[in-house]
């Protein structure tokens, strides 16, 4: 069976900027697939190519075996798209927006009222249905947008940064809903630059950086591939540099320690990468005691997705995000969003 989404060797250039340089990944039917990367990595551009809003310069894009470039109208029937910025007509009520959406997807008239009712119910929007969307909170707007994207029961639901800017409660509601959706058989493809979101939701993930996929797999596969456990050690709440250096020299001499970094931004705490073994923490504590060094706090953890990103790109996702946002040309991005099929 053809994969739910197939993206192969996708290239897209905006003027002199290469937004996508060779993006490839596959989403299997019935899974939640996460596209993780910092702002400006090419996540939205990839989704725009998938949803027929932009035409790629080259590459293959298929939904359930249907070529998006050759049969865009068929592809659009298979897709539900929830954009990052919710565009609701604020004078319409939620129900009216869904009625419009139903007509745009040519749902048979007898089916429309029932579909809208079910959609409102599943997203807990019944009591808001006849209010104008201009009165909705951010979380409600997102939920209505989700209901709209799902109205025609697409086989693939595509979400661009579904919880950006939402409060924790709304975020949890949307996560739960997406899991339910997956369990009912809908394929979900979402982008995020929240590690936590991808880790909590995605069955499989592709990490995208500067227009290309740098890693793909299940979150635990990716973490295993990075190898080693992480130990964070604080000698004191705020350790002086001298003592930290002393501890570093001692720790690096231990056979199971691979790397030690002093994190001056965190009160000279020590970040250690160790070979995964159950007694690493115990051995380290023993060695510290013998060297007469104090312990304020110590914790061992498996590598996180951020470590995966770090090992592939040499920078943390947060750093990349900050760097990207200082370089972004917001005006150009706005233009790009308005552009249809260029």
Write out the residues near another protein by the rule CB under 8 A.
1, 4, 29-30, 51-53, 64, 73-74, 76-79, 81, 83, 85, 87-89, 91-92, 96, 99-107, 115, 118, 132, 148, 152-155, 183-185, 187, 334-335, 337-338, 340-342
Running DSSP on this structure, what letter comes out for residue 93?
A: B
Query: Least Å distance between CB 243 and another protein?
Result: 54
Nearer to another protein, 17 or 335 (CB): 335
Query: Least Å distance between CB 2 and another protein?
Result: 8
Nearer to another protein, 42 or 149 (CB): 149
Nearer to another protein, 114 or 279 (CB): 114
Query: Least Å distance between CB 103 and another protein?
Result: 3
Nearer to another protein, 104 or 241 (CB): 104
Nearer to another protein, 101 or 239 (CB): 101
What DSSP line would sit under 242-263, residue for residue? Answer: HHHHHHHHHHHTSTTEEEEEEE
> Can you tell me the distance from the alpha carbon of 130 to that of 14, in angstroms, rounded to the nearest whole number?
41
| SS (HEC) of 195-237 | HHHHHHHCCEEEEEECCEEEEEECHHHHHHHHCCEEEEEECCC
- Classify strands 204-209 and 212-217 as parallel, antiparallel or unpaired: antiparallel
Query: In terms of Cα–Cα distance, which of 11, 17, 19, 8 is closest to 41?
Result: 19
Query: Least Å distance between CB 165 and another protein?
Result: 15
Query: Least Å distance between CB 175 and another protein?
Result: 19
Query: In terms of Cα–Cα distance, which of 280, 291, 230 is closest to 255?
Result: 280
- Asked if 260 contacts 270 with a C-beta cutoff of 8 angstroms, the reply is yes
- Classify strands 17-27 and 156-160 as parallel, antiparallel or unpaired: unpaired
Query: In terms of Cα–Cα distance, which of 86, 229, 60 is closest to 144?
Result: 86
Helix, strand, or coil (residue 9): strand
Query: Least Å distance between CB 203 and another protein?
Result: 12
> Can you tell me the distance from the alpha carbon of 16 to that of 210, in angstroms, rounded to the nearest whole number?
14
> Can you tell me the distance from the alpha carbon of 222 to that of 305, in angstroms, rounded to the nearest whole number?
7
Nearer to another protein, 78 or 195 (CB): 78
Nearer to another protein, 180 or 263 (CB): 180
Query: Least Å distance between CB 208 and another protein?
Result: 21
């Amino acid at each position: 069976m053809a994969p739910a989404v197939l993206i192969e060797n996708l290239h897209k250039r905006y003027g002199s900027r290469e937004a996508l340089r060779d993006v490839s990944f596959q989403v299997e039917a019935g899974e939640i697939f996460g596209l993780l990367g910092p702002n400006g990595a090419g996540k939205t551009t990839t989704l725009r190519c998938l949803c027929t809003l932009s035409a790629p310069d080259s590459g293959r894009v298929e939904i359930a075996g249907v070529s998006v470039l050759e049969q865009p109208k068929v592809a659009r029937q298979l897709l539900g798209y929830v954009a990052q910025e919710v565009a609701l007509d604020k004078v319409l009520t939620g129900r009216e927006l869904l009625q419009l959406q139903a007509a745009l997807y040519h749902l048979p008239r007898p089916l429309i009222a029932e579909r809208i009712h079910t959609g409102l119910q599943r997203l807990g929007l019944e009591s808001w249905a006849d209010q104008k969307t201009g009165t909705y909170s951010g979380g409600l707007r997102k939920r209505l947008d989700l209901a709209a994207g799902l109205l025609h029961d697409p086989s693939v639901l595509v979400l661009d940064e579904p919880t950006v800017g939402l409060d924790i409660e709304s975020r949890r509601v949307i996560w739960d809903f997406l899991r339910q959706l997956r369990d009912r058989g809908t394929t979900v493809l979402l982008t995020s630059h929240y590690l936590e979101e991808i880790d909590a939701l995605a069955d499989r993930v592709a990490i995208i950086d500067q227009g290309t996929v740098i890693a793909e797999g299940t979150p635990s596969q990716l973490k295993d591939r990075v190898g080693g456990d992480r130990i964070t050690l604080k000698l004191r709440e705020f350790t002086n540099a001298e003592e930290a250096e002393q501890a570093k020299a001692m720790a690096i001499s231990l056979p199971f320690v691979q790397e030690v970094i002093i994190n001056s931004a965190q009160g000279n705490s020590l970040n250690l990468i160790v070979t995964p073994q159950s007694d690493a923490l115990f051995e380290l504590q023993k060695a510290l005691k013998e060297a007469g060094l104090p312990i304020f706090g110590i914790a061992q953890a498996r590598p996180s997705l951020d470590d995966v990103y770090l090992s592939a790109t040499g920078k943390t996702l947060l750093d990349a995000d900050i760097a990207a946002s200082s370089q972004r040309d917001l005006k150009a991005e706005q233009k790009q969003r308005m552009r249809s099929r260029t």
